[in-house]
Amino acid sequence: MTQELTVADFQFDLPASAIAQVPAPAREDARMMVLPRAGGAPEHARMADLADHVRGDELFVFNDTRVVPARLHAHKDSGGRAELLALGPTADGRGFDAMARSNKPLRPGGRLLLDRDPASALTIVASHGAGRYTLRLPDAAPDLWTFLDGVGELPLPPYIERPDGPRPEDAERYQTVFAEHPGAVAAPTAGLHFSESLLARLADRGCETARVTLHVGPGTFLPVRSDRIEDHAMHHERYAISAATAEAVARARRDGRPVLAVGTTVVRALEASAERNGGAVAPESAETNIFIRPGRPLRVVDQLVTNFHLPGSTLLMLVATFVGRERILAAYREAVERGYRFYSYGDGMWIR
Protein backbone atom coordinates (compact mmCIF):
# COMPACT_ATOMS: atom_id res chain seq x y z
CA MET A 1 0.00 0.00 0.00
CA THR A 2 1.29 3.49 -0.90
CA GLN A 3 2.36 5.50 2.12
CA GLU A 4 0.17 8.51 2.80
CA LEU A 5 2.10 11.76 2.52
CA THR A 6 1.65 14.60 4.98
CA VAL A 7 2.61 18.26 4.94
CA ALA A 8 5.52 17.41 7.22
CA ASP A 9 6.97 15.31 4.39
CA PHE A 10 7.48 18.47 2.30
CA GLN A 11 9.21 20.69 4.84
CA PHE A 12 12.77 22.00 4.63
CA ASP A 13 14.74 24.66 6.44
CA LEU A 14 14.72 27.98 4.63
CA PRO A 15 16.45 31.02 6.13
CA ALA A 16 14.65 34.34 5.65
CA SER A 17 17.76 35.67 3.93
CA ALA A 18 17.14 33.25 1.03
CA ILE A 19 13.85 34.93 0.07
CA ALA A 20 14.56 37.28 -2.86
CA GLN A 21 13.34 40.82 -2.26
CA VAL A 22 14.39 42.19 -5.63
CA PRO A 23 14.81 40.56 -9.04
CA ALA A 24 18.15 39.85 -10.69
CA PRO A 25 19.62 42.85 -12.56
CA ALA A 26 18.22 41.48 -15.84
CA ARG A 27 15.58 38.81 -16.44
CA GLU A 28 17.94 36.07 -17.63
CA ASP A 29 20.65 36.87 -15.05
CA ALA A 30 19.03 34.56 -12.50
CA ARG A 31 20.79 31.32 -11.62
CA MET A 32 19.39 28.02 -12.84
CA MET A 33 19.61 24.61 -11.22
CA VAL A 34 19.31 21.81 -13.79
CA LEU A 35 17.83 18.59 -12.41
CA PRO A 36 17.65 15.57 -14.76
CA ARG A 37 14.44 13.55 -14.36
CA ALA A 38 16.34 10.35 -15.15
CA GLY A 39 18.61 10.77 -12.13
CA GLY A 40 21.98 12.23 -11.28
CA ALA A 41 23.28 15.22 -9.39
CA PRO A 42 21.99 18.73 -10.10
CA GLU A 43 23.97 20.93 -12.47
CA HIS A 44 24.34 24.66 -12.03
CA ALA A 45 24.04 27.30 -14.72
CA ARG A 46 22.22 30.56 -15.44
CA MET A 47 18.90 31.20 -17.15
CA ALA A 48 20.86 32.90 -19.94
CA ASP A 49 22.44 29.49 -20.67
CA LEU A 50 19.11 27.75 -21.28
CA ALA A 51 19.22 28.12 -25.06
CA ASP A 52 22.68 26.51 -25.10
CA HIS A 53 21.47 23.40 -23.24
CA VAL A 54 18.16 22.54 -24.96
CA ARG A 55 17.97 19.82 -27.60
CA GLY A 56 16.40 22.27 -30.02
CA ASP A 57 13.09 20.50 -30.65
CA GLU A 58 11.30 21.29 -27.39
CA LEU A 59 7.82 22.80 -27.27
CA PHE A 60 7.96 25.61 -24.69
CA VAL A 61 4.52 26.46 -23.31
CA PHE A 62 4.15 29.82 -21.55
CA ASN A 63 1.36 31.40 -19.49
CA ASP A 64 0.42 34.75 -21.04
CA THR A 65 -1.79 35.99 -18.20
CA ARG A 66 -1.29 39.62 -17.17
CA VAL A 67 -1.06 40.65 -13.51
CA VAL A 68 -3.58 43.40 -12.80
CA PRO A 69 -3.22 46.13 -10.14
CA ALA A 70 -5.78 44.26 -8.08
CA ARG A 71 -5.07 45.63 -4.58
CA LEU A 72 -7.33 48.47 -3.43
CA HIS A 73 -6.98 50.51 -0.25
CA ALA A 74 -10.23 52.04 0.94
CA HIS A 75 -12.23 53.22 3.92
CA LYS A 76 -15.87 52.94 4.90
CA ASP A 77 -18.21 55.87 5.32
CA SER A 78 -17.67 55.34 9.04
CA GLY A 79 -13.91 55.70 8.63
CA GLY A 80 -12.93 52.05 9.14
CA ARG A 81 -10.15 50.77 6.90
CA ALA A 82 -10.49 48.02 4.29
CA GLU A 83 -8.13 46.38 1.84
CA LEU A 84 -9.49 44.57 -1.21
CA LEU A 85 -8.01 42.11 -3.68
CA ALA A 86 -10.09 42.13 -6.87
CA LEU A 87 -10.51 38.61 -8.27
CA GLY A 88 -12.46 39.16 -11.48
CA PRO A 89 -15.55 40.76 -13.00
CA THR A 90 -19.11 39.63 -12.42
CA ALA A 91 -21.06 38.23 -15.34
CA ASP A 92 -22.72 41.57 -16.11
CA GLY A 93 -19.39 43.40 -16.08
CA ARG A 94 -20.63 46.05 -13.65
CA GLY A 95 -19.16 44.53 -10.50
CA PHE A 96 -16.38 42.29 -9.28
CA ASP A 97 -15.63 39.62 -6.73
CA ALA A 98 -12.97 40.33 -4.13
CA MET A 99 -11.24 39.18 -1.00
CA ALA A 100 -11.38 41.81 1.74
CA ARG A 101 -9.67 42.54 5.04
CA SER A 102 -11.21 45.01 7.46
CA ASN A 103 -11.54 45.57 11.19
CA LYS A 104 -15.21 44.53 10.97
CA PRO A 105 -17.06 42.51 8.30
CA LEU A 106 -18.33 44.54 5.36
CA ARG A 107 -22.10 44.84 5.17
CA PRO A 108 -24.12 44.66 1.94
CA GLY A 109 -25.42 48.09 1.00
CA GLY A 110 -22.42 49.86 2.50
CA ARG A 111 -19.91 51.90 0.55
CA LEU A 112 -16.12 51.95 0.31
CA LEU A 113 -14.25 55.09 -0.68
CA LEU A 114 -10.92 54.53 -2.40
CA ASP A 115 -7.75 56.14 -1.09
CA ARG A 116 -6.51 56.90 -4.60
CA ASP A 117 -9.85 58.35 -5.73
CA PRO A 118 -12.20 59.15 -2.83
CA ALA A 119 -14.84 60.28 -5.33
CA SER A 120 -15.08 56.71 -6.61
CA ALA A 121 -17.33 54.73 -4.28
CA LEU A 122 -17.71 50.97 -4.40
CA THR A 123 -21.01 49.51 -3.25
CA ILE A 124 -20.96 46.24 -1.31
CA VAL A 125 -23.48 43.97 -3.04
CA ALA A 126 -23.13 40.66 -1.22
CA SER A 127 -21.08 38.83 1.41
CA HIS A 128 -20.17 35.22 0.68
CA GLY A 129 -18.29 34.39 3.88
CA ALA A 130 -14.59 33.70 4.47
CA GLY A 131 -13.76 37.29 3.53
CA ARG A 132 -15.23 37.11 0.01
CA TYR A 133 -17.55 39.79 -1.33
CA THR A 134 -19.18 41.07 -4.49
CA LEU A 135 -18.92 44.79 -5.08
CA ARG A 136 -20.38 47.15 -7.67
CA LEU A 137 -18.17 49.46 -9.71
CA PRO A 138 -18.83 53.20 -9.86
CA ASP A 139 -21.22 54.09 -12.68
CA ALA A 140 -18.47 56.01 -14.48
CA ALA A 141 -16.11 53.01 -14.63
CA PRO A 142 -16.08 51.47 -18.13
CA ASP A 143 -14.94 48.02 -16.94
CA LEU A 144 -13.01 46.40 -14.10
CA TRP A 145 -9.59 46.30 -15.76
CA THR A 146 -9.68 49.96 -16.84
CA PHE A 147 -10.89 50.92 -13.38
CA LEU A 148 -8.08 49.02 -11.65
CA ASP A 149 -5.47 50.57 -13.93
CA GLY A 150 -6.48 53.94 -12.53
CA VAL A 151 -6.84 53.22 -8.82
CA GLY A 152 -5.29 49.82 -8.05
CA GLU A 153 -1.91 48.72 -6.74
CA LEU A 154 0.26 45.84 -7.94
CA PRO A 155 -0.45 42.90 -5.60
CA LEU A 156 3.07 41.79 -4.74
CA PRO A 157 3.18 38.63 -2.62
CA PRO A 158 3.42 39.12 1.15
CA TYR A 159 6.98 37.80 1.36
CA ILE A 160 8.28 40.65 -0.85
CA GLU A 161 8.66 43.43 1.68
CA ARG A 162 7.49 46.81 0.42
CA PRO A 163 6.47 48.92 3.45
CA ASP A 164 5.80 51.92 1.18
CA GLY A 165 4.11 49.89 -1.54
CA PRO A 166 5.44 48.54 -4.85
CA ARG A 167 8.34 50.35 -6.47
CA PRO A 168 8.21 51.63 -10.06
CA GLU A 169 10.51 48.84 -11.23
CA ASP A 170 8.09 46.23 -9.83
CA ALA A 171 5.53 47.23 -12.46
CA GLU A 172 7.92 45.98 -15.14
CA ARG A 173 9.71 43.09 -13.47
CA TYR A 174 6.65 41.47 -11.84
CA GLN A 175 5.17 41.01 -15.33
CA THR A 176 6.32 38.67 -18.09
CA VAL A 177 7.37 40.11 -21.44
CA PHE A 178 4.58 38.07 -23.11
CA ALA A 179 1.79 39.04 -20.67
CA GLU A 180 -1.37 39.70 -22.67
CA HIS A 181 -4.67 38.73 -21.02
CA PRO A 182 -5.52 40.58 -17.76
CA GLY A 183 -6.81 38.62 -14.79
CA ALA A 184 -4.00 37.37 -12.52
CA VAL A 185 -3.35 38.55 -8.97
CA ALA A 186 0.11 36.95 -8.95
CA ALA A 187 2.71 36.52 -11.68
CA PRO A 188 3.51 33.18 -13.32
CA THR A 189 6.97 33.63 -11.90
CA ALA A 190 8.96 31.12 -13.98
CA GLY A 191 8.11 33.25 -17.00
CA LEU A 192 9.76 36.30 -15.42
CA HIS A 193 13.18 34.88 -16.40
CA PHE A 194 12.48 35.01 -20.13
CA SER A 195 13.62 38.12 -21.98
CA GLU A 196 12.90 38.89 -25.62
CA SER A 197 16.53 38.00 -26.32
CA LEU A 198 16.28 34.58 -24.66
CA LEU A 199 13.05 33.84 -26.52
CA ALA A 200 14.76 34.71 -29.79
CA ARG A 201 17.73 32.46 -29.01
CA LEU A 202 15.39 29.55 -28.22
CA ALA A 203 13.63 30.11 -31.55
CA ASP A 204 16.99 30.18 -33.35
CA ARG A 205 17.79 26.78 -31.81
CA GLY A 206 14.60 25.38 -33.34
CA CYS A 207 12.39 25.36 -30.24
CA GLU A 208 8.67 25.88 -30.76
CA THR A 209 6.58 28.05 -28.43
CA ALA A 210 2.90 28.06 -27.51
CA ARG A 211 0.79 29.81 -24.91
CA VAL A 212 -1.97 29.08 -22.47
CA THR A 213 -3.76 31.54 -20.22
CA LEU A 214 -4.25 30.66 -16.58
CA HIS A 215 -5.21 33.52 -14.29
CA VAL A 216 -3.27 32.98 -11.07
CA GLY A 217 -5.59 33.44 -8.10
CA PRO A 218 -4.97 34.17 -4.41
CA GLY A 219 -5.30 30.47 -3.63
CA THR A 220 -1.76 29.98 -4.86
CA PHE A 221 -0.62 31.45 -1.51
CA LEU A 222 -2.98 29.43 0.68
CA PRO A 223 -1.25 27.01 3.06
CA VAL A 224 -2.16 23.34 3.27
CA ARG A 225 -4.09 23.17 6.53
CA SER A 226 -4.91 19.46 6.56
CA ASP A 227 -2.25 17.06 7.79
CA ARG A 228 -2.75 14.50 5.01
CA ILE A 229 -2.16 16.24 1.70
CA GLU A 230 -4.90 14.23 -0.02
CA ASP A 231 -7.42 15.97 2.27
CA HIS A 232 -6.44 19.40 1.00
CA ALA A 233 -9.05 21.19 -1.15
CA MET A 234 -7.31 23.01 -3.99
CA HIS A 235 -8.37 26.45 -5.16
CA HIS A 236 -10.03 26.99 -8.54
CA GLU A 237 -8.31 28.90 -11.33
CA ARG A 238 -9.56 29.88 -14.79
CA TYR A 239 -7.62 28.79 -17.85
CA ALA A 240 -7.94 28.96 -21.62
CA ILE A 241 -6.21 26.87 -24.28
CA SER A 242 -6.40 27.82 -27.95
CA ALA A 243 -6.81 25.42 -30.84
CA ALA A 244 -3.29 26.33 -32.01
CA THR A 245 -1.79 25.40 -28.64
CA ALA A 246 -3.76 22.15 -28.40
CA GLU A 247 -2.51 21.20 -31.87
CA ALA A 248 1.08 22.17 -31.00
CA VAL A 249 0.98 19.89 -27.94
CA ALA A 250 -0.56 17.03 -29.93
CA ARG A 251 2.08 17.45 -32.64
CA ALA A 252 4.96 17.45 -30.14
CA ARG A 253 3.65 14.32 -28.43
CA ARG A 254 3.12 12.62 -31.78
CA ASP A 255 6.67 13.48 -32.87
CA GLY A 256 8.25 12.45 -29.56
CA ARG A 257 9.41 15.98 -28.77
CA PRO A 258 9.49 17.22 -25.16
CA VAL A 259 6.62 19.38 -23.91
CA LEU A 260 8.30 21.88 -21.58
CA ALA A 261 6.03 23.83 -19.25
CA VAL A 262 7.31 27.23 -18.14
CA GLY A 263 5.81 27.37 -14.67
CA THR A 264 3.50 25.32 -12.49
CA THR A 265 0.48 27.21 -13.84
CA VAL A 266 1.16 25.81 -17.31
CA VAL A 267 1.40 22.32 -15.84
CA ARG A 268 -1.97 22.83 -14.15
CA ALA A 269 -3.65 24.04 -17.35
CA LEU A 270 -2.28 21.30 -19.62
CA GLU A 271 -2.76 18.45 -17.17
CA ALA A 272 -6.26 19.65 -16.23
CA SER A 273 -7.26 19.71 -19.89
CA ALA A 274 -5.82 16.24 -20.47
CA GLU A 275 -7.67 14.93 -17.43
CA ARG A 276 -10.94 16.37 -18.76
CA ASN A 277 -10.42 15.09 -22.29
CA GLY A 278 -9.19 11.52 -22.06
CA GLY A 279 -5.47 12.32 -22.03
CA ALA A 280 -5.44 14.88 -24.85
CA VAL A 281 -5.11 18.65 -24.48
CA ALA A 282 -8.18 20.27 -26.03
CA PRO A 283 -9.05 23.84 -27.00
CA GLU A 284 -11.27 25.05 -24.17
CA SER A 285 -11.96 27.64 -21.50
CA ALA A 286 -12.60 26.11 -18.10
CA GLU A 287 -11.83 26.16 -14.38
CA THR A 288 -9.66 23.66 -12.58
CA ASN A 289 -8.88 22.73 -9.00
CA ILE A 290 -6.51 19.94 -10.03
CA PHE A 291 -4.10 18.85 -7.29
CA ILE A 292 -0.89 17.52 -8.84
CA ARG A 293 1.22 15.67 -6.30
CA PRO A 294 3.45 12.58 -6.08
CA GLY A 295 1.55 9.48 -7.07
CA ARG A 296 -0.49 11.25 -9.74
CA PRO A 297 0.89 10.51 -13.24
CA LEU A 298 1.71 13.37 -15.58
CA ARG A 299 -0.12 12.87 -18.87
CA VAL A 300 1.33 15.68 -20.99
CA VAL A 301 4.24 17.62 -19.55
CA ASP A 302 7.77 16.19 -19.84
CA GLN A 303 9.92 19.04 -18.51
CA LEU A 304 9.46 22.05 -16.26
CA VAL A 305 11.08 25.42 -15.68
CA THR A 306 10.04 26.75 -12.30
CA ASN A 307 11.15 28.82 -9.33
CA PHE A 308 11.94 27.56 -5.82
CA HIS A 309 8.80 27.27 -3.72
CA LEU A 310 7.55 27.50 -0.15
CA PRO A 311 8.10 24.62 2.28
CA GLY A 312 4.96 22.52 2.58
CA SER A 313 3.26 24.22 -0.37
CA THR A 314 1.14 22.65 -3.10
CA LEU A 315 3.59 24.10 -5.63
CA LEU A 316 6.46 22.15 -4.06
CA MET A 317 4.26 19.04 -4.14
CA LEU A 318 3.58 19.60 -7.84
CA VAL A 319 7.30 19.93 -8.60
CA ALA A 320 8.01 16.76 -6.61
CA THR A 321 5.75 14.87 -9.04
CA PHE A 322 8.49 15.16 -11.69
CA VAL A 323 11.41 13.68 -9.72
CA GLY A 324 10.04 12.36 -6.44
CA ARG A 325 9.85 13.85 -2.97
CA GLU A 326 13.29 12.76 -1.77
CA ARG A 327 15.14 14.09 -4.83
CA ILE A 328 13.37 17.44 -4.86
CA LEU A 329 14.02 18.00 -1.16
CA ALA A 330 17.68 17.07 -1.62
CA ALA A 331 17.89 19.54 -4.50
CA TYR A 332 16.26 22.24 -2.38
CA ARG A 333 18.69 21.64 0.46
CA GLU A 334 21.55 21.99 -2.01
CA ALA A 335 19.99 25.18 -3.36
CA VAL A 336 19.93 26.66 0.16
CA GLU A 337 23.54 25.64 0.77
CA ARG A 338 24.65 27.19 -2.53
CA GLY A 339 22.84 30.46 -1.90
CA TYR A 340 20.09 30.20 -4.50
CA ARG A 341 17.38 32.84 -4.14
CA PHE A 342 13.83 31.65 -3.49
CA TYR A 343 10.27 32.57 -4.50
CA SER A 344 8.87 35.04 -7.02
CA TYR A 345 11.96 37.19 -7.63
CA GLY A 346 14.34 34.28 -7.06
CA ASP A 347 16.32 31.85 -9.19
CA GLY A 348 15.03 29.09 -11.45
CA MET A 349 15.11 25.31 -11.75
CA TRP A 350 14.90 23.33 -14.97
CA ILE A 351 13.72 19.74 -14.57
CA ARG A 352 14.57 18.05 -17.84
Which amino acid belongs to residue 26?
A
For residues 24-39, average pLDDT? 97
CA angle 56-60-66, nearest 5°? 150
Q: Which residues pair with 134 in a beta bridge?
A: 97, 126
DSSP type of residue 347: -
Q: What is the mean pLDDT of the chain?
A: 95
Measuring CA to CA, which residue among 249, 263, 267, 259 is closest to residue 305? 263
Banded pLDDT at 219 (limits 50, 70, 90): confident
3-class state of residue 214 by DSSP:
strand
Q: Is residue 39 over pLDDT 80?
A: yes
Specify the CATH number of the domain 71-151. Answer: 2.40.10
Q: How far apart are CA 30 and CA 26, in angstroms?
A: 8
DSSP type of residue 100: E
What stretches of 174-229 show up as alpha helix (H) in DSSP?
196-205
Cβ(181)–Cβ(238) below 8 Å: no
Give the predicted TM-score (pTM) of the model: 0.95
**How many C-beta atoms lie closer than 10 Å to residue 131's C-beta?**
14
Q: Is residue 224 over pLDDT 90?
A: no
- Lateral strand order in the sheet of 284-288: 43-46, 31-35, 348-351, 303-307, 259-262, 59-63, 208-215, 237-241, 284-288
Q: Please report, for the chain, the start and end positions of each structural domain, with discontinuous segments joined by +.
A: 7-67+171-351, 71-151
Q: Which residues pair with 51 in a beta bridge?
A: none
Cβ(144)–Cβ(89) below 8 Å: yes
Q: Assign domain 7-67+171-351 one CATH number from 1.10.3720.10, 3.20.20.140, 1.10.1750.10, 3.40.1780.10.
A: 3.40.1780.10
Residue-wise pLDDT tens digits, 136-163: 999 999 999 999 999 999 999 999 999 9
Residue-wise pLDDT tens digits, 76-126: 988 899 999 999 999 999 999 999 999 888 999 999 999 999 888 999 999
For residues 181-191, average pLDDT? 96
Per DSSP, the residues of 254-310 read HHT--EEEESHHHHHHHHHHHHHTTTS--SEEEEE-----TTSPPSS--EEEEE---
Banded pLDDT at 3 (limits 50, 70, 90): low
Q: How far apart are CA 308 and CA 154, in angstroms?
A: 22
Q: Is residue 5 over pLDDT 60?
A: yes
Q: How far apart are the first and last CA of the chain?
A: 29
